[in-house]
Structure 1
Amino acid sequence: MVGIEEITAAADRIAGHVLRTPTLPSPGLSAHFGVPVTVKLELLQRTGSFKPRGAVAKLLSLSGAERAAGVVAVSGGNHGVALADVAGSMGVAATVVMPESAPARSIDAARASGATVRLTPDMAGAFALTERLVGEGLTLVHPFDDPVVIAGQGTVGAELVADAPGLTDVLVSIGGGGLIAGVAAAFRALAPQVRVWGVETEGADAMSAARAVGGPVPVALSSIASTLSAPSVSQLTYDHVAALVCDVLVVSDADAVRGVLTLAEQAKVWTEPAAGCLVLAAHRVLDRVGPDARLGLVVCGGNVTAADVAGWVQRFGSVPFPPRTAGA
């Protein structure tokens, strides 16, 4: 289990390499939900998501020989872009393995940073190719199954604790579980009274599946939220969630897109479905905990194009969620 000592060490290591992203009250979301809402704007991080935190922490922990061998990562988009950017800035050769379903902008961004991009038919194939490349000598930078990466992502939680005292409930999206593992570890150490909730989308619900059977299992991936689409969580991230997270909520892709529109209108931020899924989940959390809650939303990323959002709105007929005070 990752502890506060590892998270504090990661914070020291990555300082100067990543942004301390804004933690701000959201008047629009507070009015929408009828309770105070604070947003942690990780979509303003370099490369548009929280992922550089773990990537920087990992690369700076490597030996000279491990860096010289070159690094490799498997990614649905954001981790690969982050690793390519960070490795490029450090002069380290990077290979990023992505499924063909990964957003074109992510593939282009990784290549623009100097990484070699390898595409596979699906995410399971991407993990398999990555394993083979590690066997050939490249140094793995796993997107979530690594305590150093989890500690780096945990700096999000440590900053949120420091910058937003008084929260009662924090919502965090889950792909492979590295972000929520780190955030939950930070809150358990620094503000143990705060409830941490995980959120997934249908068709990218590996943590919910793991919780149902008591450990990691493979899942079929179908969600539009490619940045949440891990084919399974790891034992490491599962153990953190089982011990530290109140519950994991699952929403549909259509509702994740409704959340994207709601965040755009009410919070004035441009997010991907991996963050949009938090909105309906927050309504469900309030149904369970009552009107005295003070919510914190970790807005994990904003790497999506206007064409993507327009296509999803047309596909699902999505509209923003009505405010809670209007009977939502």
Structure 2
Amino acid sequence: MRLVTLEDIHAAAAAIAPHVVHTPLLTFDSGLSIKPECLQPIGAFKQRGAVNALSRIPSEDRARGVVAYSSGNHAQAVAYAAKLLGMPAAIVVPDNTPQLKIDATRSHGAEVFVVGITERESRAAELVEERGATLIPPFDHPDVIAGQGTIGLEICADLPDVATILVPVSGGGLIAGVATAVKSLRPNVRVIGVEPELAGDAAASFAAGSLVRWDAHDRARTIADGLRAEPSELTFAHIREYVDDIVTVTEDEIRDAVREIARRTRVVSETSGAVPVAAYLNRSLPAGPAVAVVSGGNIEPKLFAELVG
């Protein structure tokens, strides 16, 4: 299995530069900065991987379009990138996807298919077969991983003395890319994954040294709707190679972190994006400057009001 390289990530940075925001580092407190990927045009980091992957589709294949499956943010990202690059897009989402994310995906011109939570991959495969389209998975793809890794390049450039980087973990594409970039540039920086206790399959896998599978309905219990996927063989290979640890946080800690991010930085974070800050606030971490990747801000307004009220 070929792992993504630093060269791949630099190439991705060049490809996506016209279409993504180099997000700033904002001060949370004296020990932590946040990287607010909620400032991307689609409100989440997923735009990086989607634009990189779609930009590499051969011109002769573009008219047949792309297909993606997603719990929400990758759906929006592929729809956005497809519109940007002039390709049709069909997106499959599970029926527990927040309506806010479904509506946003449709707003970019994509067809959206809503299915049961265990059916999204099979329906996407059917659409690929029917249309001859290109499948853009949410994390299990080297071009997607390389695109997400550009976040690591930016952190290292903007905070050269960073000691620890905290990254949300779901399917593992984000942490795979970030860890590859960071460890290639700054081997001594600690990269720590964070996920909800109720969807702690990646932490269990990391502890076991091999993939541990949790039932999809168990993973769906967490309020962090963007962290209900599980790592693939490809993303877990990167995690094993480059990640220092994976920790979990509770549902109450996630809720509190959304409120603290809003209070201290005036940034709107979705529950999935808040898990690294929850770990910073509630877990013992190494000394030195830390960065938490706040991966997205696509939260239902009613839920946000409940959490910060």
* Fold-level similarity (TM above 0.5): yes
Q: How many residues are matched?
A: 302
Partner of 2:36: 41
Equivalent residue number for residue 322 of structure 1 = none
Q: Secondary structure at the match of 1:298?
A: strand
Q: Give the drift of 1:309.
A: 2.4
Unaligned 5+ runs, structure 1 = 320-328
* Partner residue, 1:209: 204
Secondary structure at the counterpart of residue 92 of structure 2: strand
Give yes or no for contact 2:15–2:52 (8 Å, CA) kept in 1.
yes
Q: Distance in 1 between matches of 2:285 and 2:37?
A: 26
CA distance in 2, matches of 1:233, 1:113: 28
Deviates further, 14-23 or 148-157: 14-23
Please tell me whether the aligned partners of residues 65 and 133 of structure 2 are also in contact (alpha carbons under 8 angstroms).
yes
Task: Give yes or no for contact 2:128–2:135 (8 Å, CA) kept in 1.
Answer: yes
Provide the rounded CA distance (Å) in 2 between the counterparts of 1:51 and 1:288: 27
For the residue of structure 1 that corresponds to 2:247, the secondary structure is strand
Residue number in structure 1 paired with 2:228: 229
Match of 1:301 in 2: 296
Deviation at 1:297, TM superposition (A): 1.0
Aligned to 2:127: 133
2:50/2:136 contact within 8 Å kept: yes
1:245 maps to amino acid: V
1:242 matched residue in structure 2: 240
How far did residue 250 of structure 1 move? 1.0
1:326 match: none
Deviation at 1:277, TM superposition (A): 1.5
Alpha-carbon separation, structure 1, partners of 2:189 and 2:246: 15
Given the two structures, how large is their TM-score scaled by the length of structure 1? 0.88
Could you say which residue in structure 2 is the equivalent of 1:274? 272
CA-atom RMSD in angstroms: 1.6
One-letter code aligned to 1:110: T
> What is aligned with 2:251?
253
How far apart are the structure 1 equivalents of 2:114 and 2:292?
32
Residues 130, 209 of structure 1: alpha-carbon distance in 2 compared, 3 angstrom cutoff:
farther
Shift in CA distance, 128/214, structure 1 to aligned 2, threshold 3 Å = farther
CA contact (8 A) 1:209 1:219 kept: no
Paired with 2:13 and 2:129, the residues of 1 have a C-alpha distance of 31
Give the fraction of aligned pairs with identical amino acids, expressed as a percent: 40
Maintained 8 Å contact 2:55/2:85: no
For 1:143-201, what per-residue CA distance to the aligned partner results, in whole angstroms no more than 9, with x for missing partners?
10011110000000001100111111110001101010010001111111100000001
Q: Is the 8 A contact 2:23 2:39 kept in 1?
A: yes
Are the counterparts in 2 of residues 253 and 273 from structure 1 also a CA contact under 8 Å?
no
| Stretch moving more, 253-262 or 197-206 | 197-206
Q: Distance in 2 between matches of 1:62 and 1:262?
A: 41
The residue identity in structure 2 corresponding to 1:3 is: T
